[in-house]
């Protein structure tokens, strides 16, 4: 029984899965499936090439049968990717499996796919990690159910040649180091056949892989008894004088290994049955099962990795990660490469914020994940502006790759427009200042030049105020429907949603805020009338523009103006105080209009 690995992997990325990933990656679902169709053949071809050598075949087989490969990942995929943490763990697991099986990272393949499609490397790398985890899971599932062994791996991979001829691109083939497609598919069959016959003669199932230095894990240990069993009979060490040849001939001359091999595959069959039962009970009867609970994870983890099981649930309890996936992440934490992947799950996207002064000199603040990305950004800025710019670039290890680095050519012209401002976070671009001026047309220009992989928008103050007002009124309606509308924390959480958008250098309550502040006054007045008066401090904050004393004074005057408005509308004066804090405690970056808008705020604090 054979399988088409490329088709099996692509089938796992169903329309539903593609839609979920579309929301995670910020790219259309159709593009997700196209990326999978281009990446999967490269992953399979790299495994085929590695398995064309005996040692490589053993390494690939060891990874397939390792605890880190989840035989049911394809079926569990819908649940795993519901959280960003789950997606990151799956990605890290796939990258780890691929590097251990093929002896090389798959970055070159993801770069080639990114260049072919125009999709940011961040997205292609994440998807490639997922596809790798799926591929090794499918292989493990196949080997367990068919009770296949190492000697059958080359034949299974040889069956992929037709698919390679049809779907492997020349760029992908070159990226993984197999040359051109025609040369690869014409030679790989004979190479796999030669390795297959060698493995047959040596009679080496998964046992050698279990004894490798990098694989002292419980699952391969179950194959160890056939290796240990032959030594007790005294014949092998005595019969031949050369001690090196005796162990090599022992499996041929002694019937014991064959009998023990049957026991090994019987164990694998039992393991497959257990895994199938776990999956059936956990996902058929309860689709929302918590994969971190003992009932779901124990059957897999007990067989795969009892030594580290005590820590695995801690890492995955809140993310619903299958035990085998979380085990990969847990074990990889011991290595420096995977240790860096741990913070990635919670890391913020790489970002760049810039503003341009009236002389056309840009000021840039950026956060990236590596020194190489920092050097790439600085080199691009120096190439475009020479010394006519200022930049503060921070390296935060664990930050995902910056997709906008590959599109700096489209962004740097905007950095020379006086008064332009922009905030780029991951694949989202927000324009403000002169950059948002419709007459200049930068919004449409960047939408066209950056393509569909980026979301380009302009900051609109009136729209932001309208959205805040809608949120405030919706929350107020919900609050008034409860019995504890005068509860301090719940009350202030709603009041803080409103925006009092003061004019530039003004402490006069704007007309647009009169309605929401009026609703606030009515609620506070009603609370006082019912004997549930809430004592509040009205805190005023400014943005980062101007001298500190002026900002402090302006924030104080605005807080006092709001207090005066509420008192005028019937709120007991003794229940309200007003304090100005200047630009302290900013909630956003002051480099853009949207950030300054968010920082110029009024907050209500229970005293």
52 vs 160: CA distance, rounded Å: 13
Query: Two tokens at 546?
Result: 């101007």
Tell me which residue of 140, 593, 557 sits closest to 356, measured CA to CA. Answer: 593
- pLDDT the model gives residue 63: 93
Residue predicted with more confidence, 534 or 258: 534
Helix ranges, 215-319 (H): 218-221, 224-228, 235-238, 245-253, 256-279, 294-304, 312-316
Neighbours of 120 (CB within 10 A): 26
Min mean pLDDT across 91-105, 232-246, 427-441 is at: 232-246
Using 50, 70 and 90 to split pLDDT, how confident is the model at 232? very low
- pLDDT the model gives residue 431: 93
Is the pLDDT score of 244 beyond 60? no
- The alpha-carbon radius of gyration of the chain (Å, integer) is 31
Span 298-334, pLDDT tens digits? 333 333 333 333 333 333 333 333 333 333 333 333 3
Kindly state the helix (H) or strand (E) to which residue 102 belongs, with its residue range.
Answer: helix 84-102
Residues 6+ apart with CB under 8 A from 593: 421, 432, 433, 436, 459, 461
Span 118-149, pLDDT tens digits? 888 888 899 999 999 999 999 998 888 777 88
Kindly state the helix (H) or strand (E) to which residue 91 belongs, with its residue range.
Answer: helix 84-102
Residue predicted with more confidence, 462 or 279: 462
213 vs 36: CA distance, rounded Å: 33
Residue predicted with more confidence, 278 or 102: 102
69 and 300 in contact (C-beta within 8 Å)?
no
Residue predicted with more confidence, 290 or 19: 19
- pLDDT the model gives residue 24: 82
Residue predicted with more confidence, 251 or 356: 356
- pLDDT the model gives residue 413: 92
421 and 356 in contact (C-beta within 8 Å)?
yes
Query: Two tokens at 279?
Result: 């999956």
pTM: 0.40
Query: Two tokens at 98?
Result: 């691929």
The mean pLDDT value for 212-231 works out to: 36
Residue predicted with more confidence, 57 or 592: 57
Residue predicted with more confidence, 278 or 81: 81
Residue predicted with more confidence, 153 or 209: 153
268 vs 498: CA distance, rounded Å: 62
Helices then strands, each counted (H, E), the chain: 30, 9
184 vs 177: CA distance, rounded Å: 10
The mean pLDDT value for 82-105 works out to: 88
- pLDDT the model gives residue 508: 93
The mean pLDDT value for 327-353 works out to: 49
Q: Residue by residue, what is the 3-state secondary structure of 256-267?
A: HHHHHHHHHHHH
Range among 21-25, 409-413, 462-466 with highest mean pLDDT value: 409-413
What percent of the chain is modeled with pLDDT above 70?
Answer: 75
Q: What pairing do the DSSP bridges indicate for beta strands 576-580 and 536-541?
A: parallel
| DSSP of 161-209 | HHHHHHH--HHHHHHTT---HHHHHHHHHHHHHHHHHHHHHHT--SHHH
Span 168-186, pLDDT tens digits? 998 888 888 888 888 888 8
Is the pLDDT score of 255 beyond 70? no
| DSSP of 350-385 | PEEEEEE-TTS-EEEEEEESSHHHHHHHHHHHHHHH
Query: Two tokens at 257?
Result: 């290994």
- pLDDT the model gives residue 272: 67
CATH number belonging to the domain at 463-606, selected among 3.40.47.10, 3.30.1330.60, 3.40.605.10, 3.40.50.970: 3.30.1330.60
- pLDDT the model gives residue 579: 96
The mean pLDDT value for 208-217 works out to: 35
Where do the domains of the chain lie?
Answer: 5-343, 347-459, 463-606
What average pLDDT is seen over the chain? 78
Residue predicted with more confidence, 347 or 354: 354
381 vs 416: CA distance, rounded Å: 11
The mean pLDDT value for 59-66 works out to: 92
534 vs 123: CA distance, rounded Å: 49
Q: What pairing do the DSSP bridges indicate for beta strands 455-458 and 428-433?
A: parallel
Using 50, 70 and 90 to split pLDDT, how confident is the model at 558? very high
192 vs 332: CA distance, rounded Å: 30
CATH number belonging to the domain at 347-459, selected among 3.40.50.410, 3.90.550.10, 3.40.50.150, 3.40.1520.20: 3.40.1520.20
Tell me which residue of 133, 270, 267 sits closest to 207, measured CA to CA. Answer: 267
- pLDDT the model gives residue 337: 37
141 vs 156: CA distance, rounded Å: 13
């Amino acid at each position: 029984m054979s399988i088409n690995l490329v088709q099996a992997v692509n089938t796992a990325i169903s329309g539903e899965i593609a839609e979920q990933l579309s929301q995670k990656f910020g790219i259309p679902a159709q593009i997700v499936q196209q990326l999978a169709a281009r990446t999967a053949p490269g992953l399979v071809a790299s495994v085929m090439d590695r398995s064309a050598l005996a040692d490589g075949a053993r390494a690939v087989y060891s990874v397939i049968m390792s605890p880190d490969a989840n035989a049911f990942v394809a079926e569990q995929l819908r649940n795993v990717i519901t959280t960003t943490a789950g997606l990151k763990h799956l990605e890290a697991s796939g990258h780890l499996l691929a590097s251990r099986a093929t002896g090389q990272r798959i970055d070159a393949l993801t770069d080639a796919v990114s260049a072919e499609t125009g999709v940011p490397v961040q997205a292609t790398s994440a998807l490639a990690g997922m596809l790798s985890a799926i591929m090794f899971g499918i292989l493990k599932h196949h080997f367990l159910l068919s009770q296949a062994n190492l000697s059958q791996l080359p034949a299974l991979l040889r069956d992929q040649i037709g698919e390679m001829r049809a779907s492997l691109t020349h760029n992908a083939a070159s990226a993984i180091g197999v040359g051109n497609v025609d040369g690869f598919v014409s030679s790989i069959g004979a190479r796999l056949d030669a390795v297959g016959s060698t493995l047959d003669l040596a009679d080496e199932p998964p046992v050698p892989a279990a004894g490798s230095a990098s694989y002292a894990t419980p699952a391969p240990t179950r194959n160890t008894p056939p290796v240990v069993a032959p030594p007790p009979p005294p014949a092998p060490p005595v019969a031949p004088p050369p001690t090196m040849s005796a162990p090599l001939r022992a499996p041929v001359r002694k019937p014991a290994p064959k009998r023990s091999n049957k026991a090994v595959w019987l164990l694998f069959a039992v393991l497959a049955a257990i895994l199938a039962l776990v999956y059936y009970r956990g996902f058929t009867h309860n689709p929302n099962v918590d994969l971190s609970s003992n009932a779901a994870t124990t059957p897999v983890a007990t067989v795969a990795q009892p030594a580290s099981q005590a820590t695995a649930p801690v890492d995955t309890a809140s993310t619903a990660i299958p035990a085998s996936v979380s085990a990969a992440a847990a074990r990889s934490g011991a290595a420096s490469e995977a240790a860096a992947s741990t913070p990635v799950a919670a890391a913020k996207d790489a970002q760049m914020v810039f503003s341009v002064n009236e002389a056309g000199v840009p000021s840039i603040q950026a956060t990236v994940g590596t020194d190489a990305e920092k050097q790439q950004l600085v080199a691009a800025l120096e190439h475009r502006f020479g010394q006519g710019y200022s930049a503060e670039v921070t390296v935060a290890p664990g930050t995902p790759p910056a997709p906008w680095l590959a599109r700096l050519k489209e962004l740097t012209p905007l950095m020379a427009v006086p008064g332009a401002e922009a905030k780029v976070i991951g694949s989202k671009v927000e324009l403000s200042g002169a950059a948002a001026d419709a007459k200049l047309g930068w919004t449409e220009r960047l939408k066209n030049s950056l393509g569909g992989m980026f979301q380009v928008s302009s900051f609109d103050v009136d729209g932001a105020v309208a959205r805040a007002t809608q949120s405030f009124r919706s929350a107020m309606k919900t609050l008034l429907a409860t019995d504890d509308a005068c509860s301090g924390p719940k009350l202030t959480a709603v009041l803080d949603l409103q925006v009092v958008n003061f004019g530039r250098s003004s402490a006069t309550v704007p007309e647009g805020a009169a309605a929401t502040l009026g609703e606030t006054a009515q609620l506070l007045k009603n609370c006082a009338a019912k004997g549930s008066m809430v004592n509040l401090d009205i805190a005023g904050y400014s943005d980062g523009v101007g001298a500190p004393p002026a900002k402090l004074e302006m924030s104080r005057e605005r807080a006092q103006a709001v207090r005066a408005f509420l008192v005028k509308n019937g709120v007991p004066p003794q229940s309200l105080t007003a304090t100005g804090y200047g630009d302290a405690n900013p909630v956003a970056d002051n480099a853009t209009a949207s950030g300054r808008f968010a920082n110029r705020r009024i907050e209500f604090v229970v005293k």
